[in-house]
Structure 1
Amino acid sequence: MVNGKTELTDEKLADFHNGHMMDAYLYFGSHADRDETVFTVWVPDVKRVSVLCSIVAGETDGRYPMEPHPRDASIWQVRINRRMADAVYVYEIETLQGEILTKSDPFARAGEVRPANRSVVAGSSKHEWSKSALNYKAIQSKGHFEKPMAIYELHIGTWKKAKDGKFLTYRELAGELIPYIKRQGFTHIEILPITEHPLDESWGYQTTGYFAPTSRYGSADDLKFFVSKCAENGVGLFLDWVPGHFCQDIHGLALFNGTVLYEDSREERRFNPEWGTLNFDVRRGEVVSFLLSSAHYWLEEFKFDGFRMDALMKLLYVPNDESRVPNEEGASFLKRLTTRLRERHPAALLIAEDAWHYPKVTGEVEDGGIGFHYKWNFGWMHDTLGYMQTPPAERGDIHHMLSFALTYYYEERYISIFSHDQVVDGQKSLLHKFPGNLEEKFQQLRLLLGFWAVHPGKKLLFMGQEFGHGEEWAFQPELDWYLFDYKAHRQIALFTKELLVFYRTEKAMHELDDDRDGFLWLDPHNHEQSVLAFIRRGRNPEDECIIVCNFSDRSYSKFEVGVPVDSPYEQVFTTNDSAYGGQEPRLGTVHNTREKPWDGQDYSIAIDLPAYTMSVWKTKKDGSG
């Protein structure tokens, strides 16, 4: 019924029903072009469908009966002979049982500001992508396995508010956020879901609009402006996207035709009691086309640099089955998703949330893997935080928790995370997880972030933790920016900034992240003193770093550390720097090696190792003592 590029031909209809369509948003939803507007919706097994429209500028509301597609009775369409951009609308559906439903459009590309929930006819985009932004998008991920990646995770609505107390718009966010994260040393931003959602407190994870950027922060063109500015400033941008489950609010996808349609038809797999959401039926071709098209839409139209995909546990394992039975249907869907996205968007990076012990999540699909580039390292995060929250006197008993991640690390490609999930719901901020007085908490926060930076894996940190946020994250107006009035918080912000500079500039911290040759234990077993020592390597021998972490509340004088080279070693980074609130002067400490084998190396140095300190040592460049 739609002429030209968006005509639903027999071939396109087959693709849609078979789960092969990636651009369904071009054929479904509302499209205003020149002097007409076309509405198209998939609603099988109903008596009738109408569009209820309210035209902007006070025109009379209208009801427009829809007709079944001439080649497919499950698809309903209507053509209205006027351009209705910015009109608000819903679908009125009469079920086979005579029930009248009012639904927002699954393929709407805009929606009303909550609490209103009608769809909006999107007009034509006026945004023009700059050449520099497009060039950056084309090359930003080249060689990413060997490049530094420090991701700043944030929720737009609670990062910072405008002066009038309202949400920052996408355009205002560009002016505030991009300079900030560049100063702090982050390379990428990851934003919690901005797909349209009715409830602020869901953080965006209970989506109703899979093609609509939330109107809380502005229009689609406003979002494109923000994406462009990130690219023009050399900042990567990931979108948190939710392929596994959706919001059960009745105006959305739930029971769309009066029966289960988008949600799983099996009752035992349908509902997520912990989140109050519904799981998609990824056995159904139309649902697969819907999700493939949503993913493609955000990369094609908004040019995000990739996704972090949420709640993959609901796809890789059978939902609501505590025995963790692998879900072949969900795995098959994810393989199709990653394969198609990597074909169409080879520069985009695909990041998986936790997938428990599911094998080869970052393996290639042709080798039996799921096809992601990276996955979050929940195991390392849980072990590290569990250890750090333990009183120092008891840490020796669980020392293995610090080294265990290296027994499995090279099976996947990981991102080391301290995400929003670790600082909500009574878990406290990172700063207040640690035992001891406030000074000791700051010492341990520096140690934790130092260990995070030097451990193999890309990096992700949730907003506010970079300056020692005092409270756990909640739906307060904004982060506690007033903390910058206090010296200790300014010092931890400086520490994080310089730590990330160190991470980005030292090739040993990232160049061989994915290679076993990039890491060597010196001493992983020193539980008596709660000390870890290891080597990080780059491709060139001169990039090698010796790392020593003291997790105890005791300082050690003349601590022996094995080194591989007979050369003076200088301290190139320490979390105990006085500029960060520590006790040591700004670097410059040099130690000569001794011909005393230690830690499996031919030589050693004896260093002073303060309590709660991570220090990094390299051979002195000029070779002098």
Structure 2
Amino acid sequence: MGNKKLELTSDKIAEFHQGRMADAYLYFGAHPFPEETAFSVWVPEAAEVSVLCWHPQNTGEERYRMERHPDDDSIWQCSIPGDRTGSVYVYEIETAAGELLRKSDPYARAGEKRPANRSVVAPVSAHRWTAGALQFKRNHSAQHAEKPMAIYELHIGTWKRKKNGDFLTYRELAELLIPYVKKQGFTHIEVLPLTEHPLDESWGYQTTGYFAPTSRYGTSDDLKYFIGKCAESGLGLFLDWVPGHFCQDLHALALFNGQPLYEDSREGRGINPEWGTLNFDVRRGEVASFLLSSAHYWLEEFKFDGFRMDALMKLLYIPNDDARVHNPEGKAFLQGLTTSLRQHFPSAILIAEDAWHYPKVTAAVEEDGIGFHYKWNFGWMHDTLGYFETPPSARPDVHDKLSFALTYYYEEKYISVFSHDQVVDGQQSLLNRLPGSQEEKFRQLRLLLGFWAVHPGKKLIFMGQEFGHAEEWKFQPELDWFLFDYRVHRETALFTKDLLSLYRNEKALYELDDDREGFLWLDPHNHEQSVIAFIRRGKLPKDECIIICNFSDAHYGAFGVGVPRNAAYRQMFTSNASIYGGTEKEGGTIKKARQAPLDGQDYSVEIDLPAYTISIWKQKRDGSDGHE
């Protein structure tokens, strides 16, 4: 961000009030210059507003009275002598009723480390993006729908910590996290919210600073360093961003001028009882400009590769209405937001959290859609976990849970997720949600992850599940990395690594994710044996993969499955390989197709199908006939 002083013209003020201002952070907040520091804040219906400032080396409070903008009496401004970079400040607001409030700056680009909560005058950025990072940012998302996308979701503060328990800094994180994520085979990282927030246990979702990276892990330039290193390593980076609701702590946005301003004032719509948060009033143009500018800020200044947007149900549906009534105000706001982001940041990928059954979330705004690129597939996730939690003896009764997602899948563009929400609040880790002995749990975890990787849709998994984390995420100091001392967890990590390598290298597993031609059922109805079989296809016939999943505890020694050609087929991957803790030795088994129609195909093969196993086959291409 530059150091040029900008004036709020009447045209910019009109944009602000109309909800069209996407660069409000350049005009509002604190801006240091060599000879002065300028402050600007929107506070309608205030009697008086002042800046209270504390110099870093001086605890004495300085007070500077602000003046109304000559063209708009709801905007207050002042300039104070000297470059106040690093100074702490708040706004003191005298309300129309005579009450004195002290508020942090809505547009502050830095804040004190919790439990302190005042704003900080941020320095002008000294970070310089490398040519390699910028080139990656420009090109990585081209035709992303036809590329593999495996996202590693994490909470920075609890992924790993220093030996003394302190948080890793953004720079230290770059040195540890990036090599690990690359080694495991993920293509992207998604970080839980980094916007400033007062309580660690909110995971960042109760935001107070919509323009301030949390100070827990360092400065803005430290964060840019981390982002740049991700790009130089070929990793995309998504920010979890919260446009619908905010923290109700009174030092920040809540009752900013002594009455509802940023929050919805209508009865029943303002508060979210389940989270204790406040819903934004997106009818207000100034609030829409605030959020629009925040989104632009993170993409422009920090160059994130896109957003996962949280809690969209609070915008797309009328809050706290059990009838799930569509909310036209929230729809219009999100349509304006996605339209603006797509126009100004065409390489950014926009991901919606689950929005229940709201239609056309990933359709274009021009088609009356909401304009996201992808939507989390919570329906698939709930059905899949519900099936896996069912004891094997009862799985035939719920077999349809495995196939139901394909009845609606092509209505949207989806990401198949096992996110942080599935491993908290008493739900247990993925591993310990599974029935049976410890060995059976790990066999089923490999099967679960395998089914996740081969099902249509991009991929996301929460940290720790890639190596079979035993405990649910309890916001403990860090993940249980000591589990790598145990062979079964190392085998699980290796399995995930090899699974993601297979996913990235086999075009059939991603190239036609959103095309019905990319998927063909062979047998979705074998509930008696708890087996499903299907084909994933790429653009070329040679890329197709045949997938068989045995969800039962029975071993089928000569299981027949239909194949499309009279050819030799090689088992290219199995979760039952000995290197992952299974019983099969390395080396792909080869089977010659027989002219015995099965599963709607003219040919078939008989394979060995152990319990709790995913087996993936592909036609041999070396010209040999194969052998039994």
TM class by smaller structure? over 0.9
Per the TM alignment, residue 241 of structure 1 is displaced from its structure 2 partner at its CA by: 0.1
Note the alpha carbon deviations across 1:312-343, whole angstroms, 9 max, x for none. Answer: 00001110000110011000000000000000
Q: Which residue of 2 aligns with 1:340?
A: 340
Contact residue 335 and residue 370 of structure 1 kept, 8 A? yes
Contact residue 573 and residue 588 of structure 2 kept, 8 A? no
SS in 2 for 1:469: coil
Note the alpha carbon deviations across 1:54-101, whole angstroms, 9 max, x for none. Answer: 001226320111111111100001111211000000011111111111
Amino acid at match of 2:426: G
Amino acid at match of 2:16: F
**C-alpha separation between the residues in 1 aligned to 2:164 and 2:181?**
23
Note the alpha carbon deviations across 1:218-275, whole angstroms, 9 max, x for none. Answer: 0000000000000000000000000000000000100000000000010211000000
Contact residue 46 and residue 93 of structure 1 kept, 8 A? yes
When residues 118 and 555 of structure 1 are mapped into structure 2, their CA distance, relative to the original with a 3 A threshold, is: same
Contact residue 155 and residue 203 of structure 1 kept, 8 A? yes
Q: Which residue of 1 aligns with 2:520?
A: 520
**C-alpha separation between the residues in 2 aligned to 1:474 and 1:72?**
48
RMSD across aligned C-alpha pairs, in angstroms? 0.8
Q: How do 1:167-186 and structure 2 match up within 5 A?
A: 167-186=167-186
For the pair 1:97 / 2:104, whether they are aligned, the reply is no
Note the alpha carbon deviations across 1:332-373, whole angstroms, 9 max, x for none. Answer: 000000000000000000000000010100000001100000
SS in 2 for 1:399: helix
Amino acid at match of 1:152: Y
Amino acid at match of 1:382: H
Q: Which residue of 2 aligns with 1:397?
A: 397
**C-alpha separation between the residues in 2 aligned to 1:4 and 1:415?**
42
TM-score by structure 2 length?
0.99
SS in 1 for 2:403: helix
Q: How do 1:6-25 and structure 2 match up within 5 A?
A: 6-25=6-25
Q: Which residue of 2 aligns with 1:244?
A: 244
**C-alpha separation between the residues in 1 aligned to 2:194 and 2:383?**
31
Per the TM alignment, residue 505 of structure 1 is displaced from its structure 2 partner at its CA by: 0.2
Contact residue 574 and residue 587 of structure 1 kept, 8 A? no
Per the TM alignment, residue 5 of structure 1 is displaced from its structure 2 partner at its CA by: 5.3
Per the TM alignment, residue 165 of structure 1 is displaced from its structure 2 partner at its CA by: 1.6
Amino acid at match of 1:174: A
Contact residue 577 and residue 587 of structure 1 kept, 8 A? no
Q: How do 1:360-439 and structure 2 match up within 5 A?
A: 360-439=360-439
Amino acid at match of 2:307: F
Q: Which residue of 1 aligns with 2:255?
A: 255
Q: Which residue of 1 aligns with 2:441?
A: 441
Q: How do 1:66-77 and structure 2 match up within 5 A?
A: 66-77=66-77
Contact residue 192 and residue 204 of structure 1 kept, 8 A? yes
For the pair 1:504 / 2:499, whether they are aligned, the reply is no
Contact residue 562 and residue 604 of structure 2 kept, 8 A? yes
Amino acid at match of 2:385: L
**C-alpha separation between the residues in 2 aligned to 1:416 and 1:314?**
22
Q: How do 1:103-502 and structure 2 match up within 5 A?
A: 103-502=103-502
Instruction: Answer with 586-595 or 335-344: which moved more.
Output: 586-595
Contact residue 362 and residue 369 of structure 2 kept, 8 A? yes
Q: Which runs of 5+ in 1 are unaligned?
A: none
Amino acid at match of 1:111: G
Per the TM alignment, residue 163 of structure 1 is displaced from its structure 2 partner at its CA by: 2.4
Instruction: Answer with 237-246 or 70-79: which moved more.
Output: 70-79
**C-alpha separation between the residues in 1 aligned to 2:5 and 2:601?**
67
**C-alpha separation between the residues in 2 aligned to 1:39 and 1:396?**
66
Note the alpha carbon deviations across 1:470-502, whole angstroms, 9 max, x for none. Answer: 100011110000000000000000000000000
**C-alpha separation between the residues in 2 aligned to 1:550 and 1:88?**
61
Instruction: Answer with 61-70 or 463-472: which moved more.
Output: 61-70
Contact residue 573 and residue 587 of structure 1 kept, 8 A? no
Q: Which residue of 2 aligns with 1:43?
A: 43
**C-alpha separation between the residues in 2 aligned to 1:181 and 1:79?**
46
Displaced runs of 4 or more, over 3 A: none
Amino acid at match of 2:246: F
TM-score by structure 1 length?
0.99
Contact residue 568 and residue 623 of structure 1 kept, 8 A? no
Q: Share of identical aligned residues, percent?
A: 72
Amino acid at match of 2:241: W
**C-alpha separation between the residues in 1 aligned to 2:78 and 2:546?**
68
Amino acid at match of 1:564: P
Instruction: Answer with 118-127 or 157-166: which moved more.
Output: 157-166
Per the TM alignment, residue 551 of structure 1 is displaced from its structure 2 partner at its CA by: 0.4
**C-alpha separation between the residues in 1 aligned to 2:56 and 2:92?**
20
Q: Which runs of 5+ in 2 are unaligned?
A: none
